[in-house]
Amino acid sequence: MMNIKNTTLGFVGKVKDLAYLGSYVTITDNRSVLVENCRQICECSDIMAKVGAGDYIVEIWGKGLKLSDYTQDSVMIDGIIDSVKLISKSFRERRDGI
Amino acid sequence: MRKSQKRRYVPFLKISYKVRGGSFSRLYKLIKSERLHADNVCEQNSEITANIPFYSCKRFERICAECGCESERLEDGDIVKAVKWVLHRPALFIGLMMVLLLIMYLKNIVIRFDIKNENEKIRSDIMNVLKEENITVGSYIPDIVLVDAERALKQRVEGISWAGITRKGNSLIIDVIENIPAEKGSYSRFPSHLIATENATVEKVMLLDGQLKTVIGSGVRKGDIIISGIVETNKSKWVDGKEEVESKVRYTRSMGTVEGTFERTVVFEQNFDDTVKKQTGNVYSQKYLRLFSADIPLFFKSKTGSFYTDEEVNNARVFGKVLPFGIRTLTLTEYDRKPIRYSKEQALDKCREKSSKYEENFLSEYKIKNKTESIKYTDKCVRLEITYSLYGNICEEAAFFIKK
């Protein structure tokens, strides 16, 4: 049986919320994705952009993707968005499929 | 694909870069840590394209070099392009700068004075005071202390009670409030005497109110009361064989005319050696370009000497509307002061000319009954002494206050 754990209910989840350490992703239609609390840009090609935000890596797939406004701790990905995928950085979570 | 579709949009102040080779992840990290405002970042075929603001170009190139990447400028933004285009044309650049400086300068100098008053005397007084305060056309406006200028106007211009100066663009607008004349007190209800204005002989009296203090044919001195405003009446009656005098005093405003004959002596003098203004026959013309209140000379050297001036201003017109610029033409008629020597007869004629002008200006209200002349010649001048025997009004009204 899959062990589903809601992190926002726990102590760590509350602390993350208060300390603004989570991954905040705002999607506007299929035109742009704003990723806040972005720590790292892994890749940004025409069809795929991969950025690290909080405990997750945000993978954006689409067409004609362009990365802009990369200042402070946020980044805007413009283009035609097909999908947005969150990949946990934690090995345990990836292994357990949570 | 069409060429226009291929063209990459580069915002005004940005420069488009292509980066190849090296570690891109490190480049991203450095872009973030250096807080570069990178736009339109896209990785394609092992190359990154990005738009970088022109002021961060050097830093971006340095970061690329640190990451071992090779950076290449693709295209400049429109403003960057325009600036480069202008900088490559120094004459145009200098001209533009000069125009900009000229505009900045002209924005800060006085071009026009707008005085909100129609009285020519007040207007010229205001301009003179402003000139004394070093505020003229061409004065640098930020250096003008308007409060001081206003104070100077209030203190030195006669006939105004308040002055205010406001700046509008490169015009100084001067608002003034003229003195409101105090209403003259009416003395028509005050008692008054009629007093003599000359040492004269009274010849005709017409008394309307008051008490005559002299008789026709008698002489009066200047300041004597001819008709008094204090009217005393005595009424006597006999009671039990005794006379009782009842006196009453009434105050009135004396009215009437008193005419008489008096003498006035006037001396006219004319030097034998004198100077006269004589036109040389030279007439010059000087033109100015009038721009609002500014007169820009259209000549190199102004004429020196003494001139009678005649001014003509021709402003440009559009559909009958007068524009605030035009040509001001000054016609200068040159004159010279030349020494002249009069003969005795000529000097005497000059004296007579003066006497006739005097009669015209000062004795027109009197009838000249007789005049006697006495002529004296000295080494330097001729002196004509005329004693006029005049007939006319010899009194004036003088109000008095009643003691209580």
Give the contacts of B183 (CB within 8 A, at least 6 positions apart): none
pLDDT at B4: 41
Express as a percent the part of chain A with pLDDT over 70: 82
Domain boundaries, chain B: 3-84, 112-178, 192-258, 264-273+341-394, 274-339
Residues of chain A found within 8 Å of residue B39, distances taken between Cβ atoms: 66, 68-69
> Is A66's CB within 8 Å of B41's CB?
yes
Asked whether residue A30 is domain-assigned, the answer is: yes
Cα nearest neighbour of B29 on chain A: A40
Asked whether residue A3 is domain-assigned, the answer is: no
Is pLDDT above 60 for A1?
no
- Cα B182 → chain centroid: 25
**Amino acid identity at B159:** G
pLDDT at A2: 46
Is pLDDT above 70 for A71?
no
- Give the span between the Cα atoms of B382 and B141, in whole angstroms: 58
Contact B150, B163 (CB under 8 A): yes
- Give the span between the Cα atoms of B48 and B71, in whole angstroms: 9
The pair of structure tokens assigned to B109 is: 């100098």
Asked whether residue A18 is domain-assigned, the answer is: no
Give the contacts of B22 (CB within 8 A, at least 6 positions apart): B64, B67, B68, B69, B70
pLDDT tens string B202-222: 999 998 888 888 888 999 999
Asked whether residue A14 is domain-assigned, the answer is: no
Q: Which domain holds residue A36?
A: 23-96
Nearest neighbour of A67 by CB, restricted to B29, B36, B42: B42
- Cα B347 → chain centroid: 42
pLDDT at A84: 93
Express as a percent the part of chain B with pLDDT over 90: 34
Report the C-alpha dihedral over residues B98, B99, B103, B105, rounded to 10 degrees.
20
Nearest neighbour of B41 by CB, restricted to A42, A68, A72: A68
Is pLDDT above 70 for A92?
no
Residues of chain B found within 8 Å of residue A76, distances taken between Cβ atoms: none
Asked whether residue A9 is domain-assigned, the answer is: no
Cα nearest neighbour of A65 on chain B: B42
Give the contacts of B43 (CB within 8 A, at least 6 positions apart): A43, A44, A45, A46, B24
Is pLDDT above 60 for B1?
no
Q: Is ipTM beyond 0.85?
A: no
Asked whether residue A29 is domain-assigned, the answer is: yes
pLDDT tens string B273-330: 988 888 888 999 999 988 877 788 888 888 888 899 998 988 888 888 888 888 999 9
Residues of chain B found within 8 Å of residue A72, distances taken between Cβ atoms: 35
Tell me phi and psi for residue A87, to 5 degrees. Answer: -120, 125
Long-range contact set of residues B76-79: C-beta below 8 Å, sequence gap at least 24: B76/B10, B76/B15, B76/B16, B77/B10, B77/B11, B77/B12, B77/B13, B77/B14, B77/B15, B77/B51, B78/B10, B78/B12, B79/B12, B79/B13
Grade residue A93 by pLDDT with cuts at 50, 70 and 90.
low
pLDDT at B14: 84
Domain count, chain A: 1
Express as a percent the part of chain B with pLDDT over 70: 96
pLDDT at A94: 63
- Give the span between the Cα atoms of B353 and B370, in whole angstroms: 18
Nearest neighbour of B43 by CB, restricted to A40, A44, A71: A44
Residues of chain A found within 8 Å of residue B24, distances taken between Cβ atoms: 43
pLDDT tens string A15-46: 777 777 788 899 999 999 999 888 888 888 88
Does CATH number 3.40.50.300 belong to domain B3-84?
no
pLDDT tens string B321-368: 888 888 999 999 999 988 999 999 999 999 999 999 999 999 999 999
The CATH number of whichever domain residue A28 belongs to comes to: 2.60.40.2000
3-state secondary structure of B71: strand
Rg (CA), chain B: 45
More confident residue, A69 or B237: B237
Asked whether residue A2 is domain-assigned, the answer is: no
Asked whether residue A16 is domain-assigned, the answer is: no
Question: What would the mean pLDDT of B216-245 be, rounded to a whole number?
Answer: 87
pLDDT tens string B24-64: 888 888 888 888 888 888 888 888 888 888 888 889 989 88
pLDDT at B98: 92
What is B112-178's CATH superfamily? membrane protein fhac (3.10.20.310)
Nearest neighbour of B42 by CB, restricted to A42, A44, A71: A44
More confident residue, B179 or A93: B179
Does any CB of chain A come closer than 8 Å to the CB of residue B344? no
Is pLDDT above 70 for B7?
no
